């Protein structure tokens, strides 16, 4: 058994100071960290319990119309908040498609960002893994690669990032607020997670001891509320990580797309923002032909990382087309009983006039 110190600081400043110790790790809900500790995958020398830090469990609507999600806001509380669900329905749908209700009641916003990959070779402490032990090799290469990356991977790591929450956040230009020994700073969520390159052990843009304090969505993100969806293909209808997922948001101007926001999940070691596809859609009619062209652009650089995952490239194209088609039809008045499932029936979309007055997606059936 790995022996470790435990401390519960009373302030963010105390937490950051305590986390400067070598081998320290922040403990929130622990829904991922504790499992990894039990399996001997990670062995922190000190746990810094941040669950009692004041102010980090707040959800605030900002003066500019954006929203600030405190690091300790629970996933279920965020997804069911009426204002948040109405303004950012794709994010709420993504949250409700992840894990189980019990885990969503415990898991936090910052913890969701900091999830570790579910690559089985990473989770097996006896397998070589450059992410777990730099320089040891990647056992996934040539192994069971069905769920591994098709974008942004390297010979050092072919794992994927498991979060649902982060996919629409990346599409909507979310910003991560961070505090550390050097002070406060912000980083775009799109660049917060790192591709593996030759240093897959560096998973996020965080210096040792830095603490995520909040995630912020800009006011412009709510402009996609009337036409946004999150879709997720998984091996089971619920309680499973994405094989492939997609977030799509459209801002329509008459019969044309004024602006599009797109991101893919389950395809890389970070949520994959499809900016070229977004640019292709701007000014175009929201139809199947354009959606297929956008999907082709989004996956233009995809290559299989193993013999078993070539199918993910075509699957990602199709789920992105499906997400765009549903987004164009309008955000449903209520989320389906199985959020984010491409097989779930959805409730009727609001009329354009009501959508303009009050973005849909607030109620959950």
Check pLDDT > 50 for residue 351.
no
Over the stretch 209-267, which tens digit does the pLDDT of each residue have?
999 999 999 999 999 999 999 999 999 988 899 999 999 999 999 999 999 999 999 99
CATH of domain 222-344: 3.30.390.50
Report d(CA 167, CA 61) in Å as an integer: 21
pLDDT recorded at residue 336: 87
- Residue 184, Cβ density class (10 Å: 0-12 exposed, 13-18 middle, ≥19 buried): exposed
Vertex 349, ends 346 and 322: CA angle to 5°?
60
| C-alpha pair distances (Å), 180 with each of 14, 30, 194, 212, 219 | 11, 21, 19, 9, 26
Check pLDDT > 50 for residue 354.
no
Rounded to two decimals, what is the model's pTM? 0.94
Domain map of the chain by residue range? 5-52, 222-344
Which of 159, 210, 220 is closest to 182 using CA atoms?
Answer: 210
Mean predicted confidence (pLDDT) in 95-117: 97
**Sheet of 211-217, strands arranged across:** 59-61, 67-70, 211-217, 175-180, 183-188
Split at pLDDT 50, 70, 90, the class of 349 is low
Percent of the chain with pLDDT over 70: 95
7-16, 181-190, 233-242: range with lowest mean pLDDT: 233-242
Check pLDDT > 60 for residue 358.
no
Split at pLDDT 50, 70, 90, the class of 130 is very high
CATH of domain 5-52: 3.30.43.10
Dihedral sign computed on CA atoms, order 135, 139, 141, 145:
negative
Read off the tokens for 79.
């997804």
Over the stretch 261-310, which tens digit does the pLDDT of each residue have?
999 999 999 999 999 999 999 999 999 999 999 999 999 999 999 999 99
DSSP for 208-231 reads TT-EEEEEEE-GGGGGGGGGEEEE
Report d(CA 275, CA 159) in Å as an integer: 22
């Amino acid at each position: 058994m790995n022996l470790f110190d435990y401390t519960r600081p009373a302030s963010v400043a105390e937490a950051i100071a305590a986390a400067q110790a070598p081998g320290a790790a922040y403990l929130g809900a622990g829904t991922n960290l504790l499992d990894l500790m039990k399996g001997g995958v990670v062995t922190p020398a000190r746990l810094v319990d941040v669950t009692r830090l004041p102010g980090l469990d707040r959800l605030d609507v900002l003066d500019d119309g954006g929203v600030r999600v405190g690091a300790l806001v629970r996933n279920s509380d965020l997804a069911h908040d009426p204002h948040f669900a109405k303004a950012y329905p794709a994010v709420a749908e993504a949250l409700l498609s992840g894990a189980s209700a019990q885990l969503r009641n415990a898991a936090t916003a910052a913890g969701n960002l900091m999830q570790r990959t579910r690559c089985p070779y990473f989770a097996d402490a006896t397998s070589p893994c450059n992410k777990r032990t730099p320089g040891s090799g990647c056992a996934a290469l040539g192994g069971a690669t069905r769920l591994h990356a098709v974008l942004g991977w390297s010979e050092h790591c072919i794992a994927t990032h498991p979060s649902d929450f982060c996919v629409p956040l990346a599409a909507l230009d979310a910003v991560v607020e961070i505090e550390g020994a050097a002070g406060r700073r912000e980083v775009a969520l799109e660049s917060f997670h790192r591709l593996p390159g030759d240093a897959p052990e560096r998973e996020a843009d965080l210096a040792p001891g830095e603490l995520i304090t909040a995630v912020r969505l800009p006011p412009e993100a709510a402009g996609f509320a009337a036409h946004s969806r999150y879709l997720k293909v998984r091996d089971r209808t619920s309680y499973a990580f994405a094989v492939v997922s997609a977030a799509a948001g459209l801002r329509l101007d008459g019969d044309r797309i004024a602006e599009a926001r797109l991101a893919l999940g389950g395809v890389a070691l970070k949520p994959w923002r499809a900016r070229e596809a977004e640019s292709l859609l701007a000014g175009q009619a929201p139809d199947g032909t354009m959606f297929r062209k956008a999907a082709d652009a989004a996956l233009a650089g995809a290559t299989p990382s193993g013999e078993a995952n070539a199918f993910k490239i075509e699957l990602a194209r199709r789920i992105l087309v499906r997400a765009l088609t549903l987004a164009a039809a309008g955000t449903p008045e209520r989320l389906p009983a199985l959020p984010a499932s491409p097989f779930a029936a959805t409730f009727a979309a609001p009329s354009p006039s009501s959508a303009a007055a009050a973005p849909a997606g607030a109620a959950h059936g």
